[in-house]
Structure 1
Amino acid sequence: MLTPDTPLPDAATLPPLDVARIFVEPAAAAHPRGQAILGRFPDAERIEVPSHWNIPDLHGDEQAVESWVRTKRTVLVLGVKKGLACRPNGRSGDFIAPSHSNGCAMACAYCYVSRRKGYANPITTFVNIDGIMAAIERHAAKQGPKTEPNQIDPRAWVYDVGENGDCSVDALISDNVCDLTALFRRLPNAKGSFATKYVNRDLLSYDPAGGMRIRFSLMPAHLARTLDVRSTPIPERIVAINDFVRAGWEVHLNFSPVVVYEGWTTDYADLFRQVDAALDMQAKAQLAAEVIFLTHNEDLHGVNLRWHPKAEDYLWTPRWQEAKTSENGAVNVRYRAGLKGKMIARFREVLARELPYCRVRYAF
């Protein structure tokens, strides 16, 4: 079993990362977890910043789009998480846990985090994992036992610990995810959960004992090659499911985003058949899925046209989409309401035919 003291592999062997610059808050550099991370990348340039959130060299610089992928691979930010509240959710989890990270080393063309952080969103790791875990534990204690089952889980209060990043990649940087796994392994009434597009087999040694749910994100492989930039190929994600179930993880499927194009239902049917052929009976018995249709963004559309225009052939389809202004004033696009209902129904019909044992927790 991996423990917080287990040495991680040398940084040079980590496929998604080649850290050359680290922006670090002074308090993060002084924290033991921050010192451990800095020690893993001794040759990286260190740049002290007053805030992990507002870094002019990263955030809001339109020229940064030209180096979008390089920035994600080579830049790391270390900060201290200030807000430690657990927020109600009701979809992926009962609650959203305080983030232990923000941003990602992958470059998915539809990522909403990049809409919030400007033209580059490399990983920000929060070093105060002790405070984050204490906040989760206090919150879970206040909830008491879960007495009424819901679509999220019949017995445990589920905390989404990966809302703003990918925990499988975060685990390449620090022990934060290992520590969270140990926390949920011992909490009697709570479970952690995160979605991922990266297969990190080191997580197989974490011994979650059913206390963590990993949701492997899936879409047709040819679509993922265009949209899920720098992520693990779809066949490898599917093959990993059995191994994670055997290692004590609860494994669900995350069909997100579902992207509509000519022939999409045929491709998704093929995907479901690939899943069915790969899974053993243990994996099938515990399987469930969440289904989230694409929401895109006008500003991100403009960014993608500069660095990855092929993605927009799938993401920006005005004949099927309508505008929706979000609470923060951003102009998003989603599939038209009446049409989307039919799309969801068709998706569920195909899924039920090909994977009848896969329960849909929610679809929207």
Structure 2
Amino acid sequence: MVSIKQPMSNLDLFPPAPPSSEPGPLDRLLKVSRLYVETGVEEHLRGREILARFPDAERIPVASHQGIPGLFGNEGNAEAWNRIKGSTLVLGVKKTMSFTPNGRSCDFIPPSAANGCVMSCAYCYVPRHKGFANPVTVFVNIDRILASIRRHARRLGPKTEPNSVDPRYWAYDIGCNSDCAADAALSDNVRDLVRLFTTLPNAMGTFATKWVNRELLTYAPKGKTRIRFSLMPAAKAKLLDVRTSPIAERLAAIDDFVAAGYEVHLNFSPVVVYEGWQEEYDALFQQVDAAMGPAAKAQLAAEVIFLTHHAGLHEVNLRWHPKAESLLWTPDTQEAKVSQGGGHNVRYRTGLKGRLVAEFQELMARRLPYCRVRYAF
């Protein structure tokens, strides 16, 4: 009898890491006691792996990972914001494999392997779409997501014209709707994505993060994944970047991630304007300079994004974190804005914002003259 060798999947190429008895990097933030499990999750290896990690969690079958009754769109959940984030995980099956052109942080936003977050940054836009609770949803059909990226990159062919995203590779933002460093503590999805890009000659991955997960140092990205560490003055991060890694810890990780084979950029986002912001950012730039060695400085670039806020999120925040809104909601300096995605938001007023962006870049150039700004707005 002639045996036929079946083609290897990505999960065959990159087998799951063995379970560890050591405390996980998210144990302080997430103790899963409730799992919402979409129909079909257990048919996927990744779904079974994640379920096995939380054997004692209550399992609630749901028809869809979207619009879960009593979880999403429930206004009463505003006061339970962090409790829900710290106890709830949703497992879903990604249905739509769409790619959105971007041109700023990336060339394309691919199908997401997760959305939502265990962290609670007060300005996060994802809750605007998910309702009054924003726990992590992990998509378990990672093979299909990987295959869709591979096909998309193959159709694009080589990147023949450099752009502000990257001069050589088509860049895919794999963490547009979540924080990949945190996601990596929940499943091997991020590891599979990082390793996928090492096999694609014309493409790279990228994601911004506010969490230092040193497990990622073992992923061997071979220069094909760009991590953008998000930074703001530490005093304001304590107020706005709720449940994230301290700024000093993010800065201390930069050299290690460069040494591990990542390209590391900085993500100054969001830049929030308040009395004394110039002095605090000037001090931050000096801290950045002192934290990095020559290798990190030689490859450094940054993106600068001033705050965009939203009236609905403002109302939610008033119910669980009103102190943050004293910085984020400043009607005297803000105006209505329709975003690229069609959302109705608020931003700093036209004219004022242009002056603020210019002032920020002047401050940064003085302290970090070697850091190229890929875009600022």
Taking structure 2 as the reference length, what is the TM-score of the superposition? Answer: 0.94
Tell me the SS of whatever aligns to 1:142.
Answer: helix
Secondary structure of 2:121's counterpart equals coil
Contact 2:39/2:64 (8 A) holds in 1: no
Which of the numbers 198, 210, 218 marks the counterpart of 1:185?
Answer: 198
How far is 1:301 from its partner? 0.6
Q: Deviations over 1:150-199 (max 9, x none)?
A: 11101000000000000001001100000001100111110000000000
Aligned residue pairs, count:
363
> 2:313 aligned with 1:306, yes or no?
no
1:100 matched to 2:113? The reply is: yes
One-letter amino acid of the structure 2 residue matched with residue 236 of structure 1? E
TM-aligned CA distance change 1:318 to 1:243, over 3 Å: same
**8 Å Cα contact 1:226/1:311 also seen in 2:** yes
In the alignment, which residue of structure 2 is the partner of 1:84? 97
Aligned position for 1:4: 15
Whether 1:265 aligns to 2:267 is: no
Residue number in structure 2 paired with 1:43: 56
82 and 272 in structure 1: CA distance in 2 versus 1, 3 angstrom threshold: same
User: 1:1-364 maps to which residues of 2 (within 5 A)?
Assistant: 3-10=14-21, 13=24, 14-325=27-338, 331-364=344-377
Q: CA distance change for structure 1 residues 39 and 54 in 2, over 3 Å: closer, same or farther? A: same
Task: State percent identity of aligned pairs.
Answer: 63
TM-score (norm 1): 0.97
- Distance in 1 of aligned mates of 2:55 and 2:310: 38
Q: How many Å apart are 1:147 and its aligned residue?
A: 0.8
Q: Quick check: 1:219–1:258 contact (8 Å CA) kept in 2?
A: yes
Q: Secondary structure at the match of 1:53?
A: coil
Mapped contact 1:10–1:40 kept (Cα < 8 A): no
Question: Given that residues 167 and 196 in structure 1 are in contact (C-alpha distance below 8 angstroms), is that contact kept between their aligned partners in structure 2?
Answer: yes
- Partners of 2:348 and 2:186 in 1: CA distance: 37
User: CA separation in 1, counterparts of 2:104 and 2:363?
Assistant: 22
Q: SS at the partner of 1:76? A: strand
Which one-letter code corresponds to 1:136 in the other structure?
I
For the Cα contact (< 8 Å) 1:4–1:178, is it kept in 2? no
Contact 1:276 1:354 in 2 (8 A): yes
Alignment partners' CA distance in 1, 2:19 and 2:203 = 27
1:233 shift after superposition: 0.4
Q: CA deviation at 1:3?
A: 4.8
Contact 1:23 1:49 in 2 (8 A): yes
1:328 shift after superposition: 7.8
1:33 is displaced (CA, Å) by 0.5
CA distance in 2, matches of 1:320, 1:346: 16
2:126 & 2:145 partners in 1: Cα distance?
20
Shift of 1:66: 1.2
Give the whole-Å Cα distance in 2 for the aligned partners of 1:24 and 1:332: 33
Following superposition, the deviation at residue 5 of structure 1 comes to 2.3
Measured at CA, do residues 250 and 261 of structure 1 come closer, stay the same or move farther in structure 2, by a change above 3 Å? Answer: same
In structure 1, stretches of 5+ residues that fail to align are: none
Measured in 1, the distance between the counterparts of 2:92 and 2:347 equals 34
In the TM superposition, what is the alpha-carbon distance from 1:30 to its structure 2 partner? 2.1
Name the aligned partner's letter for residue 112 of structure 1: Y
SS in 1 for 2:331: coil
Shift of 1:329: 7.3
> For 1:186, what is the secondary structure of its paired residue?
coil
